[in-house]
Amino acid sequence: MRFKPTSPDLNRFRNQLARIDALPQLTLLGLVSGILTALVIMMFRELITLLSSLFMAGLPEEAFMDIDWDIRIFLPVLGSLTLLLTALFTHKNYRQVGIIHVIERLDWHQARLSLGNLLNQFFAGAIAIASGHSIGREGPAVHLGAGTASLLGQSMKLPNNSLRILVACGSAAAISAAFNTPVAGVIFSLEVLMVEYTLSGFLPVMLASASAAIITQTIYGTDPAFLVPPISTELLSDLPLILTTGVVMGVLGALFCQLMTFFVKKTARVPLFLRLLTAAGVTGLIAIPAPAVMGVGYGTITELMIGELHTPLFLVLILFGKLLASSISLGLGVPGGLIGPTLFIGAAGGALCATVMGLLTGTEYMNAGFHVMVGMSAMLGSVLQAPLTALVTVVEMTRNTNLLFPALLAIIIATLTANLMFRKPGIFEQLLGLQGRSRFHNPVHKALSRIGITSMMDTEFIRLNRFQSLAELSSLLKNNPTWILILENGAPSMIMPTSGLVFYLDNNNDSSDTVDLLDIPASRYDVAPIESQSSVYQAWEMMAEKHVDALYIFSEKRKKKQKIIGLVTKENLVSHYRI
């Protein structure tokens, strides 16, 4: 069966999605969005590989240590020049990319992401990553997944309350497809993006993430992001080091956030070309002594996990080199993600803590990978202020469950250190704060945003012109509609209950042949229009903004004509939700 944009089947599907209990419909959409997102992420990965082969002259992807120092300087500059060239052909409205853009569209624009921003993220993100900028892949991946799912819903003209779930589905599927971490994708999507856990959100997001993982594992295999041998630890003997690592990662996380927000704030008015070239120059210069800071750096993390490169000087060099290069690159607007650099800094920091404490105490700490993974999870929790996401991400990327309890302790310490000692919320909230925004945590707002207005509309109404003939009214009211939508000069003006008109007609002794519906003694409400895709929260906001007590709902607008499908009053909202 093929759906048309205005087919009865699709209209019925939309109306079902407007309800809070639309779990089967949302689950189906989760499956579709997961499949589409997996395909987009696969194309993104292949584009990065293709560009890397051009930039790296036949070397493996991210083999920056194997190229000459002058090439390490040239590559990020070439990437920035290519980004500037693409920016010349990109409208300024489409330059906003990344997770912050997704959160902004989710919280303030009803989860509507545009194709222009998605295409910009697709090409600009691939160019920036392949050319060695010190950024991660997860930011572009989340944007691509969220945008793909949002555009799916918009193309079907689905209600806005379902677009929120679709964005969560796409984001989870993107992380699942990009890093082979389906569970971490679900947790990140709900804890960081949606900031809520509901049954109607959990199942569609889980199915989206699982379907994306199945597709990408079929193509790329089932290996985790980091291949490390099985790890065991003596918790009691390692406890002082675990707690120390947590404190150090809390401090480093706060410093990373502080540097990033500093560069964002101080360079906001600097021209784009100067920002991108500065980021490229800094990255290239740092890469002369420390080529590991270039790119995502997962190869270096793997080497740290298997016990290589554990010299104090080298660890200090790559830790602070990555800290500076990534905070400048991201702060100056290079279109990449921050989770990759966060994991890298945490890995180097965890290895450094174990190395330094071993030298100070004369203790030889075995299982280098264990301390690297503890540092990664603690750093991620510190920066995101999302402890569950941090725990699940690192455990799933390494497939090592022995990490669970030690990492949990380190995450708690690191998160509390950054939050209480340095008063640092999550990095995404900090970046939104620089834009003068703060995330919505109002439970009423969230509850009303999960329901479409069409689930509450009254469809028992008729449209009547303000002046009506008495002879025609009896036939017009024969179906006993609940409401009358009064038209004045062809446009909706007010609504009134049909009972008021019936009472007037039954008690009318006037000899006039015409009735003025705006003059008879009856209750009436001023009305304003609202699209059928709107949520109940949008309806509540519209009533407050327009100072009306009722809305008429239209499903489409063609040639300035609205197809009105229902009415809703403030009294309905108040009585239903007891606001």
**Residue pLDDT, tens place only, 383-406:** 999 999 999 998 898 888 878 889
499, two tokens: 């009972």
Q: Highest mean pLDDT: which of 202-206, 222-226, 477-481, 511-515?
A: 202-206
125, two tokens: 């993100």
The pLDDT score that the predictor gives to residue 514 is 84
Does the structure show a pLDDT above 70 at 334?
A: yes
- Predicted model pTM: 0.92
Half-sphere exposure in the Cβ direction for 523 (13 Å, CA): 9
Does the structure show a pLDDT above 90 at 431?
A: yes
Question: Could you say which of 3.40.50.12780, 1.10.1740.10, 1.10.3080.10, 3.30.1330.60 is the CATH number of the domain covering 8-226?
Answer: 1.10.3080.10
The pLDDT score that the predictor gives to residue 4 is 52
The pLDDT score that the predictor gives to residue 558 is 56
Sorted by where each begins, the domain ranges of the chain are 8-226, 235-434, 452-577
* pLDDT (mean) for 276-301: 94
Instruction: Give the model confidence (pLDDT) of 113-131 as tens digits.
Output: 999 999 999 999 999 999 9
* pLDDT (mean) for 74-87: 94
CA quadruple 431, 437, 440, 441: dihedral, nearest 10 = 70
Lowest mean pLDDT among 296-305, 414-423, 441-450, 538-547: 441-450
Does the structure show a pLDDT above 50 at 481?
A: yes
Lowest mean pLDDT among 166-170, 264-268, 484-488, 498-502: 498-502
- Per-residue confidence at 3, pLDDT binned at 50, 70, 90? very low
* pLDDT (mean) for 293-318: 88
Residue 43 CA to residue 140 CA, distance in Å, equals 13
- Is there a common fold for 8-226 and 235-434? yes
DSSP symbols for 24-42: HHHHHHHHHHHHHHHHHHH
Return the higher-pLDDT residue of 311 and 1.
311
Q: What percentage of the chain has pLDDT greater than the value 70?
A: 93
Does the structure show a pLDDT above 50 at 253?
A: yes
Contact 18, 454 (CB under 8 A): yes
Report in angstroms the alpha-carbon separations of 462 from 89, 330, 465, 478, 554: 50, 56, 10, 11, 14
Q: Which residue has the tokens 């929790």?
A: 381
In this structure, CATH architecture of domain 235-434: Orthogonal Bundle (1.10)
pLDDT mean across residues, the chain: 90
Does the structure show a pLDDT above 60 at 51?
A: yes
What percent of the residues of the chain are helix, what percent strand, and what percent coil, each to the nearest 5?
65, 10, 25
Q: Which residue has the tokens 């006039």?
A: 512
* pLDDT (mean) for 184-213: 91
Looking at domain 452-577, what is its CATH homologous superfamily? CBS-domain (3.10.580.10)
